Structure 1
C-alpha cells in the first residue's frame, strides 16, 4: 500500500536537472541531486540515459559535478567539478581537469563549446578575492547572496584551448559579463553585461559582442543601453542576436527579442503570448531559448506552470505536454529533431523525458499542440521513493471583490474531514508562482495534509503566468494591492465549511515572508504565523540588501512609500504567535530584517521565536544543508499545530 510523503524522505530524494542532449539525439547527460545525510550536504553527480530506453547510469561520483555540456562532435562531455572545468570521454574513462586553480584562480563557469570544438568559453570572476583583505566599495553590487562580500570583483569572459589548456581572459573592466555564446563562425562571443550610465543604480544591461582573436577589440554594445538583457544567443545565420530581455528597465515580462547586429531597434518575437519568458534559474524553472531550424523553442510560465513553446513565422504554439506537467529544463539537438526535458507533474518531482520536435504540429498560443507527448526516460522518484504517493492538488479560482480572479491550489488528503485546520502559504518573488504539480521544497505541505490540514496556495497579484497587467499589478503597492487576494479566498473556504475559522495559520518565504508579516499586522484572522526570509523595513533594506536598489527603485518606485509599505510601520497590530525562520548569511533579505521583527514583537509581548540558520543564504531552503531544510519544515509544523490545537 502506498504511504504519504514524510520529512524523513528528504534524504532519499533524487532530483534530475540541467539536461544535455547529445548532438545525435541519442544520449541525455544530466545532473542528479541527492542528499548526503552523514556529511550534511547536497551531492550532485552526472548521470546519463539513452534516448532509446534502458536504465540510467551514473557517470561521476560528485560531490559537486554540474553543468554537463556535449562537445559538437559528441565525443566529450565538459562539466564543472567543484568550480573547475573537466572533460569526460563519451565512451567512458576518467574525467580530466581542463582548468586548474593555477590557471583559473577564481574558478570557471558553465562551459560553452566553440562550433569547431577546439575551445570552451565561460564567465567567471576576474580575480580570486582575498577573504582577509579590506573590501573597497565604490558602486552598488558589492555583495551577492551565496557569495558574500565581493567588493569590486566582477565576472569576465575567458576562453580555454581544449588541447593545450591555455586560458585567455577576453574582457576586463568594472561591469559584470554574463554567460557567453559563440558566433556561428567561431570568431566572436556575445554576452549580456551592465550598460548605460550608473547601471548599478539604474539596473540596466544590454547585449555585447567581442572578438576572440589574438588582437581582441573592445566589446561593442548591441542594442539599447537602457533596457534589460539576460541570456544571449546567435541566430544561425549570424545576422542578429536572440536576447531574453526588455527594451526598458523596470518591472515587466521578459521577452524574446531579435536584436540586429547593426544596432537597430529590437523586435519582440513573444509579445503576442503575453507571458514571461523564463530562461531558468534557482527557484524559477525554465530553460535557455534554443533553435530548431527556423523555430525557436523556449519556456514561459502559464497559470503557475512553466511550459514549453515554439515561435516561428506562423506564430507561437505550446508543446504537446500532458495537462499538469511543468518543465524545468530543456536541451535541443537541432539536427536530430529532439529535445530533452526535465518534467514534473502531480506524481513526480522531476524526470528526464524526450520530445520529438518534428512531430510538434502547429497550434494556438497557450493551447497544447497536436503531436506525440514526451517519452519518460527516467524513474528516479519510483526508484528512490517506490512506496510513496503524494496528496492530490486541486486547482481553484477565487473572485475578489474588485473583479480580479485569483488562481489557487488546494492540497489535502482525499479522506480529510471538513472543518479542519488551514495553512495558507504565500510564494516569493513577488513574481514567482505556485505550480499545480508536486513540490520537493515545501515538505511540510505533505506532512500537514497527512495530519488533516488543508493547504491553500494562491497566485496573488504580481504572480507570473497571468499576463503582464497582472504581473505588474502590485508595483508601488506591496501588501496593499494583494492582501485581499489572500483574505477573501480564506473567507470563501470558511463559508464553504471546508476549514475551521479558529485554526488558520499563515506562512511564506521571501516576498511571502514580507506579506506574512504585513497580514499578521493588519488582520486578526491567523492563530499562528511563520514568516521566513523576511523583509519588514524597506528603508533599511534599501542600503543593506543585495537587491535593495532593485526593489526600492523598480518594485516600489516612490521612496516616500517605503515607510508606509513596511510591515514594521504596522507592527503594533500583531497579535499572532510568530516563528521567524531566516538564513544567517542571507544577503538578499539580510538577517537584520528578522532581528528587527523579533525585537519589535518581543518588546510588545507577542509570543515570538527567531531561528537563524548559520551560513544559510537566501536560497538555503532550496539547496542548503539537508539538516537545515529538515529543521525548517519540522519547526514550522510544530509551531502551527501547537498554536492551532483545540
Structure 2
C-alpha cells in the first residue's frame, strides 16, 4: 500500500479506545471509542463490546456522548454514563441479552461514574450538588456578590465552586430510590465498594488549604446503611482510594503521606483506620499514578496476596505485579510500548497500548498469549507513515543526564529546520509512544523537519529527586537541559541553527517565553496557554503552593524571586517573533497572562500575534474541547514556524 506523511486533517480519522472493562466471566471486554466529528465539531464517544477470543468489535451505543461502561457482577447489564440527550451526564443501564437501555438518574447537575456493589444489589456514584436550598435560591445567588472565605473557591473547567460540592449517592437496583449518603462542605470522590457491600471508601479533597492542585486528600469509609463517615487517613496527607483487599481488612491507595509535590506511590492502610499507612514499594523508583491519571487501576489479585498496578517510569507506562508483603515487582506488560490503561481479570488483562509507530489499540493478554482486539488505526490510517522517534539521552552543561527523543524522517539529509517542543507541567513527561495529542510534531516531521522533545529536570517518571530538582528555582534549573540538547542536535548536523523554532503549552508555553528572554537564537516562538507573571499567577486555581515550587517559599517571603522567575520581568530582552494561543475561560493560565506578554512585546516593537479561543478552559487546545480548536491551534503553530523559518532559509540560500 502506498504511504504518505501525517496531515492535520487525519485528526478526524483517529479512533481512540479507552476505559476497557472485563466481563465477570472473562469472555468479553467493554470499552469506549472516541473520534472527532468534524461536521458537528465535538468528540463523539460510544461504547463497544468485543469478545476476548478476537471476534469483531460491536458498537453497543450510538453516542454522541457515552462513557464509563461497568459490568454488573452477574454480567447481564452494563452501567454507563450518557449525556447524549444534550443534558448533563446521567447513569443508564443496558441489558446485554437484548432490550433498551434504561435511565437510572435524573439529577439537575448530572452524575459521575457509577460503581456496582459486589453483591449486585446497589449502585454508587458521586454527583455535583448545589447546596442552595431551592432552585430559586440558586438563581438568585448568580445575581449576588460571591462571598469567599477560603482558598480553592474556583476550579478550571468548573468555575466558581460557590455551594457546589460532590456528594455520594446509592441506588437500590430493584426498584429503590436514590439516597444521598454524604453532605457538608467537603467533596466526596472516587467511590470504592467494600467486599461485603456494607461500606464505601471515598476520597475527600480539602481545597481550603492550598487550592485545587495537589491539595490534602483524606480517605474515609461511609457506612451504606447509616451514612456514618469514618476517616482512615490523616488530614494532611494526599491519598486516593483504589481497592479493598478480598477480606475487607485493607485499603489500597495511591498518593503521598504529605500533601504537595511528590511522585505518587502505592500504599496500604487498615480499612478501620487507626494505623499509619504502609508504602508498598518504598525502594522502587516509579510513579504509580501514570500521567497523573486517577482512572488507571491498581487492584488486589483474587487471593489478596499481590497487587497489579500501572507504573510510569522513564516516560513509559507498564503494568507490574508485586507481593503485598513486599518484594521486587515483576513486569506483566510494557516493554517498548506505553500502556495507557488496563483492566484486570482473574488471570487475563485487557489493556490499551501504543508504541513509537502506532496509535493505541485494545489488546488482551492471557494464558494463551496476547491478541490485538481492535484495529481502528489500521482501518482508518493504514496509509499514513508515522515518523518513529529516536530515543536519546543528552548531557546537560552541568553533567546531568536528561532523556528525550528526536523525530526525523530517515530520508532527510543535512541540517533541517528544528522544532523544540517543551512539555507542560513541568511535572509531566513526553512519551515516545505515538499519541493523538501533539500531532503537529508528526505533520512537521513529515515535511522534513526535525522535532526535539526533552524531559528536562522537573519531569515526572524519573524518580522523585529528578522531579523535585527544579523546586524553588523554576526556569533557571531546567533551561540548560533544553538549550544543551539543542546544542547537541545542531552540532550533530541535524538542525540548521538559523531555522530553530520553540514551542510549548501550559508550563511549556511559559518556558518558551522564558527561553526567548535568555537567547535570541530562535527564529520564532509559539506559546499556548502560558504564564507570563508568576506573582499574579498565585491568584489562580493552581493555589498557593506554586510559589514554593517556583521560588522556594510563600509569596510574602519570595516576592522578588517570583518576580525574577517571571518571563515578563525580562521581556525587554525579547526579539523573537512570538505567537500566543490563549483560552478565554482558562482559570489555570488565564487570558490576562497571554495578553500581558502580547502587549509588552508589541509595545517594544517585537512582532507578536495573540489568538483568543472563546468559551474554553485550560486543556481545550490539547484535545479537551471542540476538535476544531486543536486543529486550528496546530495549523497556526505550523504556519508561524514555516513562515519564519522560510525567511531564514532564503537568507541562507542567498549567502551560499
Q: Would the aligned equivalents of 1:286 and 1:328 in 2 still touch at CA under 8 Å?
A: no
Q: Which residue is equivalent to 1:26?
A: 27
Q: Which residue is equivalent to 1:367?
A: none
Task: Report the CA distance between 1:240 and its aligned residue.
Answer: 1.8
Q: Would the aligned equivalents of 2:404 and 2:454 in 1 still touch at CA under 8 Å?
A: yes
Q: Which residue is equivalent to 1:546?
A: 541
For residues 346 and 279 of structure 1, the distance between their equivalents in structure 2, rounded to whole angstroms, comes to 18
Q: Which residue is equivalent to 1:531?
A: 527
Q: CA-to-partner distance for each residue in 1:215-247, whole Å, 9 max, x for gaps?
A: 332x22112221101243212211121111111
Question: Which ranges in structure 2 are unaligned for 5 or more consecutive residues?
Answer: 84-88, 133-137, 650-656
Q: Which residue is equivalent to 1:333?
A: 345
Q: Which residue is equivalent to 1:362?
A: none
- SS of residue paired to 1:580: strand
Task: Report the CA distance between 1:178 and its aligned residue.
Answer: 1.3
For residues 321 and 189 of structure 1, the distance between their equivalents in structure 2, rounded to whole angstroms, comes to 30
Q: Of the candidates 243, 259, 280, which is equivalent to residue 253 of structure 2?
A: 243
For residues 531 and 518 of structure 1, the distance between their equivalents in structure 2, rounded to whole angstroms, comes to 10
1:98 and 2:110 matched? no
1:164 and 2:164 matched? no
Q: Which residue is equivalent to 1:4?
A: 5
Task: Report the CA distance between 1:195 and its aligned residue.
Answer: 5.3
Equivalent runs, 1:431-450 vs 2, <5 Å: 431-450=427-446
Equivalent runs, 1:553-564 vs 2, <5 Å: 553-554=548-549, 556-558=551-553, 559=555, 560=558, 561-564=561-564
Equivalent pairs counted in the alignment come to: 622
The 1:285–1:240 alpha-carbon spacing in structure 2 relative to 1, beyond 3 Å, is closer
Task: Report the CA distance between 1:72 and its aligned residue.
Answer: 0.9
Equivalent runs, 1:177-256 vs 2, <5 Å: 177-194=188-205, 198=209, 200=211, 203-213=215-225, 215-217=226-228, 219-256=229-266
- SS of residue paired to 2:333: coil
Q: Would the aligned equivalents of 1:181 and 1:189 in 2 still touch at CA under 8 Å?
A: yes
Equivalent runs, 1:268-279 vs 2, <5 Å: 268-278=279-289
For residues 598 and 204 of structure 1, the distance between their equivalents in structure 2, rounded to whole angstroms, comes to 36
- SS of residue paired to 1:223: coil
Task: Report the CA distance between 1:262 and its aligned residue.
Answer: 3.2
The 1:552–1:177 alpha-carbon spacing in structure 2 relative to 1, beyond 3 Å, is farther
Q: CA-to-partner distance for each residue in 1:135-177, whole Å, 9 max, x for gaps?
A: 4432222222222222231111111222225111111111111
Q: Which residue is equivalent to 2:615?
A: 615
For residues 431 and 200 of structure 1, the distance between their equivalents in structure 2, rounded to whole angstroms, comes to 17
Q: Would the aligned equivalents of 1:207 and 1:232 in 2 still touch at CA under 8 Å?
A: no
For residues 554 and 318 of structure 1, the distance between their equivalents in structure 2, rounded to whole angstroms, comes to 34
1:519 and 2:515 matched? yes
Q: Which residue is equivalent to 1:638?
A: 639
- SS of residue paired to 2:433: coil
The 1:128–1:198 alpha-carbon spacing in structure 2 relative to 1, beyond 3 Å, is closer
For residues 330 and 147 of structure 2, the distance between their equivalents in structure 1, rounded to whole angstroms, comes to 49
For residues 177 and 158 of structure 2, the distance between their equivalents in structure 1, rounded to whole angstroms, comes to 27
1:297 and 2:308 matched? yes
Q: Which residue is equivalent to 1:382?
A: 378
The 1:575–1:212 alpha-carbon spacing in structure 2 relative to 1, beyond 3 Å, is same
Q: Would the aligned equivalents of 2:32 and 2:69 in 1 still touch at CA under 8 Å?
A: yes
1:573 and 2:573 matched? yes
Task: Report the CA distance between 1:616 and its aligned residue.
Answer: 1.9
Q: Which residue is equivalent to 1:625?
A: 626
Equivalent runs, 1:583-602 vs 2, <5 Å: 583-602=583-602
For residues 151 and 99 of structure 2, the distance between their equivalents in structure 1, rounded to whole angstroms, comes to 46
Q: Which residue is equivalent to 2:652?
A: none
- SS of residue paired to 1:489: helix
For residues 37 and 602 of structure 1, the distance between their equivalents in structure 2, rounded to whole angstroms, comes to 35
1:605 and 2:616 matched? no
Equivalent runs, 1:337-356 vs 2, <5 Å: 337-356=347-366
The 1:557–1:641 alpha-carbon spacing in structure 2 relative to 1, beyond 3 Å, is same
Q: Would the aligned equivalents of 2:318 and 2:334 in 1 still touch at CA under 8 Å?
A: no
Q: Would the aligned equivalents of 2:404 and 2:452 in 1 still touch at CA under 8 Å?
A: yes
1:288 and 2:297 matched? yes
For residues 245 and 449 of structure 1, the distance between their equivalents in structure 2, rounded to whole angstroms, comes to 38
The 1:394–1:165 alpha-carbon spacing in structure 2 relative to 1, beyond 3 Å, is farther
The 1:637–1:73 alpha-carbon spacing in structure 2 relative to 1, beyond 3 Å, is same
Q: Which residue is equivalent to 1:121?
A: 124
Task: Report the CA distance between 1:285 and its aligned residue.
Answer: 8.7
Task: Report the CA distance between 1:374 and its aligned residue.
Answer: 3.4
Task: Report the CA distance between 1:477 and its aligned residue.
Answer: 1.0
- SS of residue paired to 1:387: coil
Task: Report the CA distance between 1:373 and its aligned residue.
Answer: 6.0
- SS of residue paired to 1:154: strand
- SS of residue paired to 1:644: helix
Task: Report the CA distance between 1:381 and its aligned residue.
Answer: 0.5
For residues 490 and 401 of structure 1, the distance between their equivalents in structure 2, rounded to whole angstroms, comes to 12
1:258 and 2:268 matched? yes
For residues 310 and 95 of structure 1, the distance between their equivalents in structure 2, rounded to whole angstroms, comes to 37
Q: In angstroms, what is the RMSD of aligned CA positions?
A: 1.9
Task: Report the CA distance between 1:196 and its aligned residue.
Answer: 10
The 1:521–1:127 alpha-carbon spacing in structure 2 relative to 1, beyond 3 Å, is same
The 1:511–1:616 alpha-carbon spacing in structure 2 relative to 1, beyond 3 Å, is same
The 1:441–1:176 alpha-carbon spacing in structure 2 relative to 1, beyond 3 Å, is same
Q: Which residue is equivalent to 2:472?
A: 476
Q: TM-score, normalised by structure 1?
A: 0.93
Task: Report the CA distance between 1:423 and its aligned residue.
Answer: 0.3
Q: Would the aligned equivalents of 2:220 and 2:230 in 1 still touch at CA under 8 Å?
A: yes
Q: Would the aligned equivalents of 2:244 and 2:300 in 1 still touch at CA under 8 Å?
A: no
Q: TM-score, normalised by structure 2?
A: 0.92
Q: Would the aligned equivalents of 1:177 and 1:194 in 2 still touch at CA under 8 Å?
A: yes
For residues 623 and 394 of structure 2, the distance between their equivalents in structure 1, rounded to whole angstroms, comes to 29
Q: Which residue is equivalent to 2:39?
A: 38
Q: Would the aligned equivalents of 2:472 and 2:548 in 1 still touch at CA under 8 Å?
A: no
Q: CA-to-partner distance for each residue in 1:493-532, whole Å, 9 max, x for gaps?
A: 1111111111100001111111111111111121100011
1:141 and 2:152 matched? yes
